[in-house]
Amino acid sequence: MHGMNKIPAAGALPAGPSPWRLELTETVKLALPIALTQLGQVGMMTTDLALVGRLGGDAIAAAALAHVILFTAFVFGMGLTSAVAPLAAQAFGARNPRMVRRSLRVGLWAATLLGIPLSLGQLWGEELLLALGQQPKTAALAHDYLMGLAWSLIPAWWFIALRGFMGAVNRPQPAFWITLAAVPANFILAYALIFGAYGAPQLGILGAGVATTVANLGMCAAALWVCYSQHPFKKYQVLGKFWRYDSHLMKQLVAIGTPMALTFLLEYGLFGGAGLVVGLFGSSALAAHQIALQIAAILFMIPFGISLAATVRVGQEAGRKNPAGARLAGFVALGLAFGFMTIMTVIVVVFRAELPAFFMDADMSDSTQIVSIASWLLLLGATFFVADGAQTAMAGALRGLNDTKIPMLLAAFSFWVVGFGGLYALAFPLGYGVTGVWIGFTIGLIVYCVLLVTRFHLLTARGYLPDAPKAEDAFAKAKPLPAE
């Protein structure tokens, strides 16, 4: 593999009676607060959607379209800033604390430089949606939502980079507590701004977007304060010489993060494209689709947290030049994600009729139809929940090895050739409508899962590890920070 050194696989597992049990314990300890942080973040989106749902089906459909526009930008930046985690984890495993700080610093720089143009680009969301054939009323409401949401990108990406740094040094708990505090604060602020409560102006759907932006700014500020001033983070001096642009390490972050960003974009693009296709069947179908996907997103956050933990665990073992440990960490993460999603799938199938009702006002004329469609989509979703959890765990493990280019190509094939091609054919030529859309992207996710598991197995069976991240020579000669 390009950029990797072959390392013998023999004799690298840590001593102990049960390395699987030890790795499982370490992964759970790391994954649990990360996963709970992810749940908190999706919890803010869920409460926003539930509040917006009180404005009617058109408002939910508009929120779905606004998320397509915003998250197309967001997931690209998320991929780039997520590269902080493997770089910092590898540096931590190699006992190079100065490189840990530099990995965070270039992530913050990347988030800022990318965020300025992409935030401004949100202002043309309505024109884009109209060009894509969406209904004018829904597009106008989506524009109002985006006016509040657009400014959340940079603080959200900074928080992702800071969270990745915390996880890389085995201290992910502060990000969870920050998120936990943000959930009720976001709910209260969103309620006040949407409905004009507590003396706030009544902004409707715009208020939901403003509340999300304010919550992200608060989370970013809190995380930055923790990393700057609290033990054990403050010894890394995360804002030290922040103005210094580390071009060499930035190139490494871009080389690793750009394929990650494109992979996230390909995956989200599949769901976003599916939403645009569903929108052609009317606002009730689109609202039901958005509700069902939001429930799926809640489930997905635990495997996604496991995925982030897998990136750190595999990256740390890679930094220690331990290929067998990296392989073990990846497969433990896969087993955790598979087991969790299997249990959750059964629960969703049992309660598929009750869950969508949470997002709707029962007194609205279209609520019964929307809940019925969403319930049917959740039953169909039982076919992809497990595959979705497994693929994200494997993707995280591969990111820990800096293996991002091949997974990107596999994503392009799985999501767009198989997934989108299948859903479009099923929805229109074959006449299955919204049902065909869900069957199509389910097939794409299953194919991607199989390909990633095969990729990780073949890569780690041969004992390959990534090269350690490097900075410019002038920086490398600087006095090292205190060791962990």
Quick check: is 136 in a domain? yes
Q: Cα 319 to the chain's mean position, in Å?
A: 24
* Alpha-carbon gap, residue 212 to 336, rounded angstroms: 31
Q: pLDDT tens digits, residue range 77-96? A: 898 999 999 999 999 988 89
Quick check: is 475 in a domain? no
* Alpha-carbon gap, residue 391 to 129, rounded angstroms: 30
Return the closest-CA partner of residue 329 out of 7, 23, 17.
23
Residue 236 is encoded by which pair of tokens? 């890394």
* Alpha-carbon gap, residue 411 to 261, rounded angstroms: 11
* Alpha-carbon gap, residue 283 to 4, rounded angstroms: 50
> Regarding predicted confidence, which is higher, 39 or 447?
447
Asked if pLDDT for residue 168 goes beyond 50, the answer is yes
- Rg of the chain on CA atoms, in Å: 22
Range in 171-180, 219-228, 364-373 the model is least confident about: 364-373
Q: What is the dihedral angle through the alpha carbons of 336, 452, 95, 31, rounded to the nearest 10 degrees?
A: -20
On average, the pLDDT of the chain sits at 86
* Alpha-carbon gap, residue 451 to 456, rounded angstroms: 9
* Alpha-carbon gap, residue 345 to 349, rounded angstroms: 6
- The arithmetic mean of pLDDT across residues 429-442, rounded, is 90
Overall domain count for the chain: 1
Which helix (H) or strand (E) segment is 464 a member of? strand 464-466
Quick check: is 484 in a domain? no
- The arithmetic mean of pLDDT across residues 86-109, rounded, is 91
Quick check: is 476 in a domain? no
Quick check: is 11 in a domain? no
Identify the pLDDT of residue 18.
81
CB atoms within 10 A of CB 76: 23
Q: pLDDT tens digits, residue range 288-345? A: 888 888 888 888 888 999 999 999 999 999 999 999 999 999 999 999 999 999 999 9
DSSP annotation of 339 = H
Sign of CA dihedral 326, 328, 332, 334: positive
* Alpha-carbon gap, residue 386 to 14, rounded angstroms: 30
Asked if pLDDT for residue 405 goes beyond 90, the answer is yes
Identify the pLDDT of residue 365.
60
Asked if pLDDT for residue 205 goes beyond 80, the answer is yes
Range in 5-9, 268-272, 331-335, 447-451 the model is least confident about: 5-9
- Model confidence, pTM: 0.80
Identify the pLDDT of residue 484.
37
Identify the pLDDT of residue 258.
93
Quick check: is 93 in a domain? yes
Q: What is the DSSP string of 277-327?
A: HHHTT-HHHHHHHHHHHHHHHHHHHHHHHHHHHHHHHHHHHHHTT-HHHHH
What domain range is 362 assigned to? 17-469
